[in-house]
Chain A
């Protein structure tokens, strides 16, 4: 089992009044799944994704990632685990404006302390795969949205994660570009067995995956397998 959540709760206390974001979320995700998290705005989808991605901590509950208890782990170990296994893709791409395409892709490798030669070959590899070799020295603001998101995905992939967490990856894109991105995800999932978890509003995008998790008011309402 790759991910196991037990009774995850998240709330903010404000003047003694608790406002819940997530309640009693218990689920598990296996290696190689392509899960879409769906639900209305404010349901807690993104918070769940962030908790899974270790960017946020649950107020209560247990989270096991590849058999290790995340909630009890110290920060250094958690970052280590995170660097090696998790890739994030954002709706607003979140590339670093001051870095070129190649540098943006290189950044996670630097944090993983991967030696220079290997870095170069991996970046070349990824650029090649995404057909972006010609654009490697451009800065993010010189690219279209779809291209930026491709770089975002390339950046997530280059560290060879076991799971990619994507928060509405196509939310800012036109439909043609969105399809391209979704196809890419599907291909990664099928051919390289990378686990993918995406938050999405769109039923169409959800159908690219093989499992659908619907959240409403912080509670898991539905959990369906897609054939």
Chain B
């Protein structure tokens, strides 16, 4: 029976090639979209879960009150980890690690800049990285040691065995390679290429030893024995105050497994994070699959007249309903299966594109049984859902009625199909509106002035020789002289980066309960000029005023927050030292372009140990010439290091990654949804044309023109699409409004997206329906009437 049914199913597919093509195509696109989205969702959900103990591992967070808000950061004092390990019985392990940053590592002539972290030995107990070479015991204990990842080891040593060999950190520290670990999975939050002992960090950075409980500069990972987190979090309350009285900071632990997806806190409370976006994608995946299923239902029932006879005959020769349902489900599962194979090909073809677009690395895990289970589940689910309606509908025919000559009641079955089409178009219209709004918002934010001119602006990392003031001055002089640069200045960190803030600023008239958090930045001479901003009042640091070490500049937001009427000349206390305000700078965006600019304080700095050189290119020169000139000059002054420069506009663009991703995905999948929906509509049009063949023929005999008939047929569908839009609009409005409410700067919702939605959906509908019905409308009426 099964074999025969399968054979029949194949013959049916072959006989109705057009139908099969639409059906399989729709399903394949639906399944492929669903697969890509699910791959992405699985990738995001898999973040940090590769470790054996991820369930008992936590990240220490500090709540800091400032500017009337509470900020939550995964920065903690260096003193925290030992304290937790010693005094809390439930803590199995606690490790400090530095935030990853790029450091030069070299072996003989091989010089590479790569991400490094410093960590306590227990870090390797908390997260079980896979050791490829070397002993996995007693690591990170000796001060001059290093652990490499596979790729870095390969790049440094090629085919040599690196264990026991010596590498150099930053051309100074000689470190022995103790072990090699496998490359980290893409989806882990802590990313590095080599690990060095925390002790080495303390040796290199002398200031660490002096830091108290108020200084948050490292990440603390905690592993617990079993036990309630809430209980521990309760006992951790007040830990900072117990150690240092005047602190208002609070400590809490956040699960490692939630670190990536649940990372947004408001006033110390978890409010979500990336998980919100992920839920949208999950919903999108399910909806697209459902749309494809609905499509299948529509197309299958559209052919019911043809299948009805078969049902009648089968019943007349002894089939019961169950085996008929089985047969139709088998057919839909077969179609889904073929669709899945096509979907596979589509996914494999499009994955590189999506990976490139989203800057991630999704792969189909062919060797993972879970993947196949889910896929099989997906096929069966889709086959069942898609086949259910046709199966139950077709198998319900009474044999005698269908054998005598079939006429579908225009009652119930047809209206279910209408509801299905309305459902499809509601979804499609919603997606169109959402996509349009996302694009509008993205455009709005992108074009919003950021307070400086990010075009033709380069930031270059200060490293090696450049750390000396003299060399820096030489660099500036030569760059200006070469004509490649118009202006050169310094900044203590990347201009598009947040962090590094202080609340240790006081002034006359400051309320004691007032705690304002200032971003602090050291800047060089001619900074404002270089980045293309302007001073609102006063002056900036300049070579003309060499004794500026006790002077500061604030931005507008800071002055506003401090409530100073005449800021110039005001004396403040800044980090325990007296300083005079000499200028007010226009606000510029450094962190999120979606939020208001935070208060910022600038001090004069010319020999900062980190930071970047800001270079304003000379626009009258050829760009590539200027760049090669700059590279050449930097190479001469700092020969040991590769030139590490980036365009600010490129770095800035990364801030839009999330929104761009959302926009692109909803654009693509919205497009697919509309496409599949229009296939569904095609099915309905086919069905209707078949059903009304006789009516159309009679009308034609009575003198109706092709245009008359097309209008007649289109009218019903336009009505359906209009109803869909009416349902979709409030829905889309709610969704879009909710999405926009997360932004401080946002567009107001206009009519345009809604106009686009209705225009596009009606256009698609009319095109699809006309394409099909024109055949019927033009057919010779006699052919249809002859069989009566």
Contacts and interface: CB of A to CB of B under 8 A. Distances in A.
B323 interface: yes
A108 B317 contact: yes
Given A55-B399, A106-B4, A94 B318 contact: no
Contact of A96 (B1, B15, B310, B400): B310
Contacts of B313: 94-96
Contacts of A110: 1, 4
A186 interface: no
B323 A111 contact: yes
A75 B320 contact: yes
B8 A83 contact: no
A95 B310 CA distance: 8
Interface string A57-94: 00000000000000000011001001100001010101
A167 B315 CA distance: 16
A75 B400 CA distance: 16
Interface string B392-404: 0000001110010
Interface string B3-24: 0100110011001000000000
A98 B8 contact: yes
Contact of A94 (B4, B11, B309): B309
Nearest to B306: A97
A189 to B, nearest CB: 21
B593 interface: no
B15 A94 contact: no
Contacts of A82: 318
B361 interface: no
A45 interface: no
A96 B319 CA distance: 13
Nearest to B10: A98
B320 A79 contact: yes
B12 A98 contact: yes
Interface in B107-146: none
Contacts of B364: none
B356 to A, nearest CB: 46
Contacts of B8: 96, 98-99, 103
B729 to A, nearest CB: 42
Contacts of A106: 4
B314 interface: yes
A36 B554 CA distance: 109
Interface in B8-59: 8, 11-12, 15
A155 interface: yes
B376 interface: no
Contacts of B11: 98
Contact of A98 (B310, B316, B398, B400): B310
A76 B321 CA distance: 10
Interface in A98-139: 98-99, 103, 106-108, 110-112
A191 B633 CA distance: 111
B323 A94 contact: no
A22 interface: no
A103 B4 contact: yes
A166 to B, nearest CB: 12
Does more than half of chain B's interface fall in helix, strand or loop, or is it mixed?
helix
Contacts of A96: 8, 310, 313-314
A218 B555 CA distance: 100
A53 B398 CA distance: 13
B611 interface: no
Contact of A76 (B312, B317, B320): B320
A107 B316 contact: no
A94 B320 contact: no
A111 B319 contact: yes
Classify chain B's interface size. Answer: 20 to 34
Contacts of B319: 107, 111
A50 interface: yes
B15 A98 contact: yes
A107 B4 contact: yes
Interface residues of A, number: 28
A169 to B, nearest CB: 14
A62 to B, nearest CB: 21
Contacts of B314: 96, 107
Given A103-B4, A106-B4, A94 B12 contact: no
A76 to B, nearest CB: 7
Contacts of B315: 55
Nearest to A167: B403
Contacts of B1: 110-111
Contacts of B403: 90, 92, 94
Contact of A88 (B7, B317, B320): B317
A112 B318 contact: yes
Among B309, B317, B403, chain A packs the most CB atoms within 10 A around the CB of: B317
A94 B406 CA distance: 13
A88 B319 CA distance: 13
A56 interface: yes
B400 A79 contact: no
A159 interface: yes
A110 B5 CA distance: 11
Contacts of B323: 111
A108 B400 CA distance: 17
Contacts of B398: 55-56
A162 B75 CA distance: 88
Contact of A56 (B7, B317, B318, B400): B400
Contacts of B4: 99, 103, 106-107, 110
A142 to B, nearest CB: 14
A156 B391 CA distance: 26
Interface in B353-412: 398-400, 403
A171 B320 CA distance: 28
B400 A94 contact: no
Contacts of B12: 98
B400 A55 contact: yes
B317 A111 contact: yes
B310 to A, nearest CB: 5
Contacts of B320: 75-76, 79, 111
B399 A111 contact: no
Contacts of A108: 317-318
B316 A88 contact: yes
A83 B310 contact: no
B385 to A, nearest CB: 25
Contact of A83 (B7, B15, B318, B399): B318
Interface in B145-170: none
Contacts of A112: 318
A118 to B, nearest CB: 15
Interface string A171-198: 0000000000000000000000000000
Nearest to A84: B318
Contacts of A98: 8, 11-12, 15, 310
A16 B7 CA distance: 48
A111 B400 contact: no
B645 to A, nearest CB: 69
Nearest to B402: A94
Given A110-B1, A111-B317, A50 B400 contact: yes
A124 to B, nearest CB: 17
Among B11, B313, B323, B399, chain A packs the most CB atoms within 10 A around the CB of: B313
A10 to B, nearest CB: 12
A55 B316 contact: yes
A94 to B, nearest CB: 5
A58 to B, nearest CB: 13
A202 B348 CA distance: 66
13 contacts: A55-B399, A92-B403, A96-B313, A99-B8, A103-B7, A103-B8, A107-B4, A108-B317, A111-B317, A111-B319, A111-B320, A155-B317, A156-B317
Given A82-B318, A111-B1, A111-B318, 8 more contacts: A50-B400, A56-B398, A88-B316, A96-B8, A103-B8, A106-B4, A108-B317, A159-B318
Q: Which 5 A-B pairs have the closest CB atoms?
A: A83-B318, A111-B318, A108-B317, A110-B1, A94-B313
Interface of A: 50, 53, 55-56, 75-76, 79, 82-83, 88, 90, 92, 94-99, 103, 106-108, 110-112, 155-156, 159
